[in-house]
Amino acid sequence: MTRPGVALERLDAYDPAKTLEALRRVLAPLGGMERFVKPGAKVALKPNLLFGRAAGKALNTHPEIVRAAGRLALEAGAGELLIGDSPGFGTARGAARLCGILPVAEELGAAVVEFTPVEHMDRGRSFPRLELARELLEADVVINLPKMKTHGQMLMTLAVKNMFGAVPGTRKFQWHYRAGRDKLVFARALNEIAMAVRPALSILDAVLAMDGMGPSSGRPRWTNFIAAGDDPWALDAAIMDVLGLERSLLFTLLAASGHGPSEWREVEIFGESPEALRPDDWDIPELVTAQMHGGFVEKRLPRLADWLRARISPPPRANGRCVRCGHCVAICPAGAMRLDPDPVIDREKCIRCYCCHELCQYGGMDMRRGGALARILGFGG
Ligand code: SF4
Ligand code: SF4
């Protein structure tokens, strides 16, 4: 079996010509764009469009990465190009306009599409029935364009997590509710969604990334590289190497162990070495750090862990930036929030999905550390 390949390449600014050349270089060891895009192919680009924000905020895949990927796909002979995602709120077109992707789409002749749900059945899976974006399932080639960011619930959002955007609109919140407080169940769902969409190629934007309390309220960080791979799990494994973190700390890789969707342990790395690109002080969410390093109960006694987490792991809390818009109350998958007049969370009902933190456009929700007991048991202390 051939090993999945991941290529790493430095890029220190979103200069259009330099970005295009960096993409050519990063794709060369994988066979170039021509390996993935055949003449006449219908190509779907799937950036991370969390919600509309200026590119400098690092919430979304940068427009220059989208432009360069689109240009190379057209050079390879793509017959049709579309750009789509399912943002946390608002439309894909609205988010694309605010982050600068819309003019790039117009220049490329690509439509920015809103995803429509279609049923995808695979009886061999843990989640046999998925509702996914018709536009991705019907494309000849899906090119995944994730942004490197920390993620309060999943540790990082990289290539596999970016495929969650293939779930249209509010159906994403249903997945959170279905998984409940068990992160590994949610990670398994993410893996199966990525397996169903099967992006042929993933190109990660890690030029301006986000650490700390990502994926929306963290710190934009210049990490100055891009990465590409034909297997999203392998790409994520390589990025954990770059960050100097154990691969199994990433929930989607942990959930893939034993019945893995890919051979990500055997990844072959081209270009720069992971160590050469390692950022100095990559800051992962404290909540996740504590969970990962003290999760004995979580691993051995998951039901007890769930019961304990509801009692001792602190739910998020509104801060002074909250403008009481009510969006978090409307999207909370567990119906655990109300406005009174600030958002109030029922800690018993809260499933610790952190959607309220992720999707507040004002940075109005804080994630919190728990007390000593939470830290000892490893539940977000
Ligand atoms: S936390 Fe954010 S989303 Fe929730 S009410 Fe406050 S401003 Fe709105
Ligand atoms: S209160 Fe926030 S963290 Fe808790 S279930 Fe609702 S959205 Fe998720």
> How far away, in angstroms, is 56 Cα from ligand 1 center?
22
Does the CB atom of residue 81 touch ligand 2 within 6 A? no
Pocket of ligand 2, candidates 327, 349, 353: which has the most ligand atoms within 8 Å of its Cβ, to mutate? 353
Confidence of residue 261 (pLDDT cuts 50, 70, 90): low
Residue 348 or 71, more confident: 71
Domain with CATH 3.30.70.20 in the chain: 286-377
pLDDT digits (tens, 9 = 90+) for 25-36: 999 999 999 999
Residue 310 or 23, more confident: 23
Q: How far apart are CA 122 and CA 131, in angstroms?
A: 11
pLDDT at 43: 98
Does the CB atom of residue 100 touch ligand 1 within 6 A? no
pLDDT digits (tens, 9 = 90+) for 111-165: 999 999 999 988 778 888 899 999 999 999 999 999 999 998 899 999 999 999 9
Q: How far apart are CA 105 and CA 86, in angstroms?
A: 16
Give the gyration radius of the chain's Cα atoms.
20
Are the beta carbons of 185 and 212 closer than 8 angstroms?
A: no
Pairing outcome for strands 117-121 and 111-114: unpaired
List residues bridging with 81 in a β-sheet.
43
- 58 backbone φψ class: left, alpha, beta (φ>0; ψ -120 to 50): left
**Does CATH number 3.40.50.11440 belong to domain 5-277?**
yes
Sequence-distant (6+) residues with CB within 8 A of 366 are 213, 316, 317, 318, 319, 357
Q: Cα dist. 139→22, 78, 147, 257, 293 in Å?
A: 26, 11, 22, 29, 41
For ligand 1, atom 4, the nearest C-alpha belongs to: 328
**Does CATH number 3.30.70.20 belong to domain 286-377?**
yes
Does the CB atom of residue 322 touch ligand 1 within 6 A? yes
pLDDT at 258: 59
Mean pLDDT of the chain: 90
Q: Cα dist. 195→164, 168, 189, 233 in Å?
A: 11, 16, 10, 10
pLDDT digits (tens, 9 = 90+) for 307-325: 777 777 788 999 999 999 9
pLDDT at 297: 64
Greatest C-alpha distance within the chain: 60
Domain with CATH 3.40.50.11440 in the chain: 5-277
Are the beta carbons of 123 and 82 closer than 8 angstroms?
A: no
Q: Does 305 score more than 90 pLDDT?
A: no
pLDDT at 184: 84
pLDDT at 264: 67
Q: How far apart are CA 11 and CA 59, in angstroms?
A: 18
Residue 179 or 18, more confident: 18
pLDDT digits (tens, 9 = 90+) for 160-211: 999 999 999 888 999 998 888 788 889 999 999 999 999 999 999 999 999 9
Does the CB atom of residue 141 touch ligand 1 within 6 A? no
Of 19-23, 207-211, 265-269, the poorest mean pLDDT is in 265-269
- Residues in the chain, overall count: 381
Are the beta carbons of 277 and 7 closer than 8 angstroms?
A: no
Model confidence, pTM: 0.92
Q: How far apart are CA 214 and CA 150, in angstroms?
A: 5
Does the CB atom of residue 362 touch ligand 1 within 6 A? yes
pLDDT at 71: 98
